[in-house]
């Protein structure tokens, strides 16, 4: 049916009634960004602009999607898949400013704005993902996929769009669809409750100590913090709890063994005691429902369902990988246990080493072997020098130059904006760095974007990347001096940013860091390797006052300490991965008790005998309340990838341009190809564990 000619006019009047034209004209988030590279006009954006802008952009996006759904023409790749890919451009632009700033420059007002728009956004996304007519159009294109003459990248876009729906149950019959929806609702309640129980149990334990002798060994700053905690609760003395800043220092430093044992037992029995917060039933229900949902979608186990869209692909491959590493780490872990036991004996310890003794004696051993203070290292790593070293490394490897541009607006005075140019002078990206902590910024370090790259129909859009950290701020007398850990953090986040800066794909949903989960840390972690290469350190490391080179002895200790307890830490990580895989490869609901189930999967990696009443599953929020179900292995997987990938640089030279060019191809491709294919193209073979074993000193 043809619409009457005045239809457009009616629509215009309707829209005008709901969104006053004046408002839009004044709202800098909505208006075309008339800035350098069309970067966000931060100087003009005010708090009151966000909610109206998101509301307006949501309306636009919904209209765009509805136009696809209601298109009277038959579905084609262009009018459905590409059209869907290009919807919501304004919405992306507006929400990326909102969400980035809510992380790095927030305020109660901005948080309120985020809270206000978040439900509207999820409502919109579920509106799209549940629309049957839209799925029917996508399916009809997908069904002809082999006859459309699509190139591999377009084919992958089509597959992603189709599977996005199918993996959420769009292809099920009415009855199964209903059950699938019930499972999802039930699941969100259970996982929420799991997290609440862990929180309640973590907060339930406090320990007040009034005799200072009982906390001998604790560093002054830990004592201070615990005295403050006591005072806040109206008590005299020192108060401890199960939060990380309190719990870990006790295990590491407290001479008082009974205290260590008590807090260890309290920590490792969280949500496993005989009370209302016990998570045992939650776990059994969660894994049973996950199994059922996977079965509904045609997968044998929940792990099969998850891994189908991961680089690792199958539970068999993950389990083999975990077992290979376990076999290699085991002898070293036993040797380390022996060494720590022996060392404890030398210090006069007469009993059997228990779990609550481990951190205490390993900390002392570490100091004896590699004793150096962070303060000795820091003067050699002035932030400006480190940054120069990192930027020059990128120049050496990839030929890019990174130049500050004061014409690009920033959202805080501590932020610096750069333009990144390719070797031939082509503009590649904007890069914002934001290094110092402030109350409006969340903790940690991350890389994000204000705009992703895309190139649909020759319309090249270059990305805007960020590096956000919480490094020590300079003072009037001292510049910002980084710890060695902060140097590797810088490199790590720079690697994520580079993944985006080099992106060279057609579609934004597959650009840069939009890759499978177990592949996304390769570009970041590989960069950390340079921090352990003296050849690179020598290019910039110098004392900030005297300009002197770092003493050989100090750098040797620093590099040697990297592999301290490599076997034991590897086993610890693997045990959690094994536990995760065990829970998610079940093919029948679990009836036995949590402790028995867990011992079977985790005990092979332990150097201690099982401890009755202690489990890790009931507080394993990563997999039961977070997004890491069947994914915990990714941490180790990423290490295997980055070690194996970096070994090519080790072989050809850490500044080798040819290797760098090949690696850049992998970065440019983003998610347009299966990561295993991309990896093999770069490395010449599938990743193996050998390089990691060698790097961590675990090789025989």
Binding-site ranges for Zn ion (CB under 5 A) = 524
Residue 466 bridge partners (DSSP): 432, 448
The pairing of strands 401-404 and 238-241 is unpaired
CA–CA distances in Å: residue 532 to residues 214, 537, 556, 607, 641: 40, 8, 10, 30, 17
The pairing of strands 464-468 and 427-434 is parallel
- CB of residue 492 to Zn ion, shortest distance in Å: 6
- Give the SS3 label for residue 160: helix
- CB of residue 192 to Zn ion, shortest distance in Å: 26
Of 482 and 522, nearer to Zn ion (C-beta) is 522
Of 293 and 524, nearer to Zn ion (C-beta) is 524
- CB of residue 627 to Zn ion, shortest distance in Å: 15
- CB of residue 530 to Zn ion, shortest distance in Å: 16
The Cα 268–Cα 285 span in angstroms is 21
- CB of residue 638 to Zn ion, shortest distance in Å: 8
Of 449 and 524, nearer to Zn ion (C-beta) is 524
Among 7, 19, 26, which Cα is nearest to 60's? 19
- CB of residue 496 to Zn ion, shortest distance in Å: 6
Q: Is the separation of the CB atoms in 251 and 356 below 8 Å?
A: yes
The H-assigned helical ranges of 297-424 are 302-307, 315-346, 355-370, 374-377, 383-398
Q: Is the separation of the CB atoms in 668 and 503 below 8 Å?
A: yes
Of 415 and 467, nearer to Zn ion (C-beta) is 467
Of 60, 486, 493, 668, the active-site residue reads: 493
- CB of residue 527 to Zn ion, shortest distance in Å: 10
Of 222 and 497, nearer to Zn ion (C-beta) is 497
Of 44 and 445, nearer to Zn ion (C-beta) is 445
- Residues 6 or more apart whose CB falls under 8 angstroms from that of 155 comprise 145
- Residues 6 or more apart whose CB falls under 8 angstroms from that of 271 comprise 194, 197, 198, 201, 277, 278, 279, 618, 619
The H-assigned helical ranges of 446-537 are 484-501, 522-528, 534-537
Q: Which residue is nearest to Zn ion (CB)?
A: 524
- CB of residue 606 to Zn ion, shortest distance in Å: 28
447 sits in which H/E element: strand 446-451
The Cα 498–Cα 503 span in angstroms is 8
Give me 530's structure tokens.
């340079």
B/e letters for 620-641, b = 16+ CB within 10 Å, e = fewer, are: bbebbbeebbbbbbbbbbbbbb
CA–CA distances in Å: residue 118 to residues 34, 65, 123, 577: 28, 19, 9, 32
Q: Is the separation of the CB atoms in 689 and 321 below 8 Å?
A: yes
Of 359 and 525, nearer to Zn ion (C-beta) is 525
Radius of gyration of the chain (CA): 27
Give me 614's structure tokens.
């202690």
How many distinct helices (H) and strands (E) make up the chain? Answer: 29, 9
Of 359 and 524, nearer to Zn ion (C-beta) is 524
**CA torsion angle 399 405 411 412 (round to 10):** 100
The Cα 533–Cα 553 span in angstroms is 15
- Is residue 354 annotated as a catalytic residue, yes or no? no
Of 284 and 465, nearer to Zn ion (C-beta) is 465
- CB of residue 489 to Zn ion, shortest distance in Å: 9
- CB of residue 445 to Zn ion, shortest distance in Å: 9
- CB of residue 639 to Zn ion, shortest distance in Å: 12
Of 312 and 590, nearer to Zn ion (C-beta) is 312
Of 343 and 635, nearer to Zn ion (C-beta) is 635
**Within 13 Å of residue 314, how many CA atoms lie on the same side as its CB?**
4
The Cα 255–Cα 213 span in angstroms is 9
Q: How far apart are the first and last CA of the chain?
A: 75
Percent helix, percent strand, percent coil in the chain, to nearest 5: 60, 5, 35
Residues acting as catalytic residues:
493
């Amino acid at each position: 049916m043809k619409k009457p000619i005045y239809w457009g006019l009616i629509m215009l009047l309707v829209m005008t009634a709901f969104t006053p034209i004046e408002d839009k004209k004044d709202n800098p988030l909505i208006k075309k960004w008339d800035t350098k590279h069309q970067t966000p006009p931060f100087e003009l954006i005010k708090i009151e602009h966000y909610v109206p802008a998101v509301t307006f952009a949501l309306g636009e996006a919904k209209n765009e999607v509805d136009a696809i759904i209601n298109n009277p023409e038959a579905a084609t790749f262009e009018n459905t898949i590409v059209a869907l890919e290009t919807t919501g451009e304004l919405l992306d632009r507006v929400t990326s400013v909102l969400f980035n700033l809510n992380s790095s420059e927030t305020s109660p007002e901005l948080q309120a704005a985020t809270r206000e728009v978040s439900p509207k956004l999820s409502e919109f996304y579920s509106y799209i993902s549940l629309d049957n007519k839209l799925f029917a159009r996508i399916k009809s294109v997908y069904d002809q996929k082999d006859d459309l003459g699509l190139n591999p990248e377009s084919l992958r876009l089509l597959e992603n769009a189709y599977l996005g729906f199918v993996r959420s149950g769009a292809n099920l019959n009415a009855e199964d669809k209903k059950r699938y929806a019930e499972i999802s609702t039930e699941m969100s309640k259970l996982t929420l409750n799991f997290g609440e129980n862990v929180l309640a149990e973590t907060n339930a334990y406090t320990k007040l100590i009034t005799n200072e002798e009982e906390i001998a060994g604790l560093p002054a700053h830990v004592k201070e913090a615990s005295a403050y905690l006591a005072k806040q609760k109206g008590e005299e003395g020192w108060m401890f709890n199960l939060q990380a800043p309190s719990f870990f220092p006790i295990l590491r430093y407290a001479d008082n063994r009974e205290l260590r044992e008590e807090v260890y037992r309290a920590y490792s029995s969280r949500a496993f005691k005989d009370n209302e917060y016990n998570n045992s039933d939650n776990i059994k229900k969660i894994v049973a429902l996950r199994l059922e949902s996977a079965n509904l979608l045609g997968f044998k186990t929940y792990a099969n369902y998850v891994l189908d869209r991961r680089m690792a692909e199958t539970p068999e491959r993950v389990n083999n990988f975990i077992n290979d590493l376990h076999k290699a780490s085991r002898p070293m872990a036993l040797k380390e246990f022996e060494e720590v036991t022996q060392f404890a004996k030398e210090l006069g310890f007469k009993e059997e080493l228990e779990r609550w003794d481990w951190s205490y004696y390993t900390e002392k051993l570490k100091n004896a072997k590699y004793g150096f203070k962070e303060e000795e290292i820091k003067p050699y790593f002035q932030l400006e020098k480190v940054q120069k070293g990192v930027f020059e490394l990128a120049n050496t490897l990839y030929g890019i130059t990174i130049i500050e541009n004061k014409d690009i607006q920033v959202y805080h005075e501590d932020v610096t904006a750069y333009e990144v140019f390719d070797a031939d002078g082509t503009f590649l990206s904007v890069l914002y760095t934001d290094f110092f902590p402030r109350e409006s910024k969340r903790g940690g370090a991350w890389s994000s974007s204000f705009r992703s790259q895309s190139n649909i129909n020759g319309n090249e859009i270059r990305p805007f990347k960020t590096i956000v950290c919480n490094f020590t701020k300079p003072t009037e007398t001292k510049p910002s001096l980084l710890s060695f850990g902060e140097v590797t953090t810088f490199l790590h986040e720079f690697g994520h940013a580079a993944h985006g800066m080099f992106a060279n794909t057609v579609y934004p949903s597959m650009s840069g860091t939009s890759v499978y989960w177990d592949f996304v840390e390769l570009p970041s972690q590989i960069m950390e390797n340079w921090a352990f290469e003296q050849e690179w350190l020598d290019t910039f490391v110098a004392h900030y006052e005297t300009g002197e080179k770092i003493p050989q002895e100090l750098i040797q200790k620093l590099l040697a300490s990297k592999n301290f307890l490599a076997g034991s830490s590897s086993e610890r990580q693997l045990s959690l991965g094994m536990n995760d895989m065990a829970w998610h490869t079940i093919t029948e609901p679990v009836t036995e008790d949590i402790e028995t189930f867990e011992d079977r999967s985790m005990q092979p990696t332990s150097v201690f005998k099982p401890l009755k009443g202690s489990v890790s599953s009931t507080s394993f929020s990563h997999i039961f309340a977070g997004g890491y179900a069947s994914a915990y292995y990714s941490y180790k997987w990423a290490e295997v990838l980055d070690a194996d990938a970096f070994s090519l640089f080790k072989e050809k030279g850490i500044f080798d341009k040819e290797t760098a060019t090949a690696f850049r191809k992998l970065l440019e491709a983003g998610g347009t190809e299966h990561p295993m294919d991309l990896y093999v193209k770069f490395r010449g073979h599938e990743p193996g564990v050998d390089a990691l074993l060698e790097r961590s000193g675990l090789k025989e």
